Amino acid sequence: MIFLKTEDEIELLRASNLLVGKTLAELAKIIKPGVTTGELDRVAEEYIRDNGAVPTFKGFPNPYGGSFPASICTSVNEQVVHGIPSADVVLKDGDIVSVDCGTYMDGFCGDSAYTFCVGEVSDEVRNLLRVTKEALYIGIENAVQGKRLGDIGYAIQQHCEANSYGVVREFVGHGIGKKMHEDPQVPNYGKRGTGTMLKKGLCIAIEPMITLGDRHVVMSRDGWTVSTKDRKCAAHFEHTIAVTSGKADILSSFEFIEEVLGNQAI
């Protein structure tokens, strides 16, 4: 069932999502060669709790059993999504790390993701990040009242495939509100004019997951980490948005991150 949000509910969603952006900015300050993804998780959880929220990812149930053990997802290089932070995973010069973060505050969820460069990253990989981020905003441009979900997916898919990148099919965006994952699903591929009609008050997380090579993915033995089958890099950017009577209202923010990164931002 799809729940359309009131203006007051959208403002609560905005507050939770802005906290996600600020949390990711705290991580941007420390992402560099030699830092572990476990340290990123520690800093994120502390910041989220210090600001009156709880991390929605921690304890999130796996349909196959168990629950997610950390407060953020850290997916390095060929890992697409749901990478588990660890004191044993040390970031190296030339790596990329996608950090997905969720918060729950005052009854509503925030969800956003950003892919960071670690030190000096190759032009080939930086271009993958640039195109993935562009695709996110192109998708958001199509999140307009009266259009359909297929218009969002089509726009993302066309932009990425025109640049010879793969578009992951198995994992998609989603509705968001009092729960982190609500209806509808929001694929990053599709046909124009198909799917659920977009209405004012619909709040969704749009999150292109794009690969440097083939689009196919594999699940690791930990039951969470998803990686590219060909072991080539993947990028992931995500915003939570609200459909309005005009252009989409972006409730999350990359501004805090990019203030930290300065001219190193993608």
Q: Where are the domains of the chain?
A: 7-136+161-184+197-264
Residue 65: what pLDDT? Answer: 86
Based on DSSP, count helices (H) and strands (E) in the chain, helices before strands. Answer: 5, 15
**Looking at residues 153-171, what average pLDDT do you find?**
98
Q: What is the largest CA-CA distance in the chain?
A: 48
Residue 144: what pLDDT? Answer: 97
Residue 43: what pLDDT? Answer: 98
**Looking at residues 28-37, what average pLDDT do you find?**
98
The model's pLDDT over 178-188, given as tens digits with 9 standing for 90+, comes to 999 999 999 99
**Looking at residues 1-15, what average pLDDT do you find?**
97
Please state, rounded to an integer, the average pLDDT across all residues of the chain: 97
Residue 63: what pLDDT? Answer: 85
Q: Are strands 166-167 and 209-211 parallel, antiparallel or unpaired?
A: antiparallel
Residue 112 to residues 25, 51, 177, 205, Cα–Cα distance (Å): 12, 17, 13, 8
**Looking at residues 216-233, what average pLDDT do you find?**
97
Q: How far apart are CA 225 and CA 74, in angstroms?
A: 9
**Looking at residues 77-89, what average pLDDT do you find?**
98
Specify the CATH number for 7-136+161-184+197-264; select among 1.10.8.420, 3.20.20.140, 3.40.50.2000, 3.90.230.10.
Answer: 3.90.230.10
**Looking at residues 221-232, what average pLDDT do you find?**
97
**Looking at residues 20-47, what average pLDDT do you find?**
98
- Per-residue confidence band for 64, with pLDDT thresholds at 50, 70 and 90: confident
Could you give the dihedral angle defined by the CA atoms of residues 70, 76, 80 and 81, in that order, rounded to the nearest 10 degrees?
10
The model's pLDDT over 92-127, given as tens digits with 9 standing for 90+, comes to 999 999 999 999 999 999 999 999 999 999 999 999
Residue 162: what pLDDT? Answer: 98
Instruction: Please name which of 263, 265, 246, 244 lies closest in space to residue 254, comparing C-alpha atoms.
Output: 265
